[in-house]
Amino acid sequence: MSIDIRRPYSDDEVTGVKADFLEYEFEKGGVDIITCYQVLEYIDDNYVDAFAKKLLRNSHIAIASVPYMWPAGQCKWHKQDPVDVEKLISWFGTSPVFLYKVTEPEGQLARLIAIFVEGTDSEINREFWRLDAITTSTALRSQYRERTKQSLFGKLKRFTGRVHLRHRE
């Protein structure tokens, strides 16, 4: 399912629903996985917290992507720039189990990809991403990422029944 207030995506396998996400009523139990890519930065201050928290309330796993530390005015339609990790966490009210910074091909701008899992310990998650953000030790980063990946994919498998993971060298 795709929900959009103007033009929801749809095809043979995806049902498009034209609706305001904040007003949309999910079926009891919500969905297994919900994604929100490049949306939160466009939402007014009055609604962004409610939007992010509704993502979590209606899914077992929420995956969000936002521009990371783009200067205010970089995109004239963005209402939340600059977005840092603390701002993202404040919107969701919890820390992600996985947080990754992706630099765009041009190398100037970056995006954060965050994965939130229902029922995880926020304080533990916060310490994990802090360790990853501050450590310069490749070995420690590698151990952290492997631990996080195994935990995340174990939870994904429990919710979806299967997980396919591709690794690129």
Assign 140 a pLDDT band (cuts: 50, 70, 90). low
Of 13-27, 41-55, 117-131, the range with the lowest mean pLDDT is 117-131
Above pLDDT 90, what percent of the chain? Answer: 34
Task: Give every CB contact of residue 139 below 8 A, 6+ residues apart in sequence.
Answer: none
Residue 10 lies in a domain: no
8 A C-beta contact, residue 96 and residue 115: yes
Residue 101 lies in a domain: yes
Pairing of strands 110-117, 59-68: antiparallel
Count the domains in the chain.
1
Q: Which whole number is the average pLDDT over 127-151?
A: 53
Long-range CB contacts (< 8 A, 24+ apart) of 127-131? 128/97, 129/85, 129/95, 129/96, 129/99
Residue 136 lies in a domain: yes
Task: Give the domain range for residue 48.
Answer: 27-160
Share the mean pLDDT of the chain. 78
Q: Which whole number is the average pLDDT over 56-82?
A: 93
Residue 41 lies in a domain: yes
Residue 5 lies in a domain: no
Q: Which residue has the higher pLDDT, 34 or 136?
A: 34
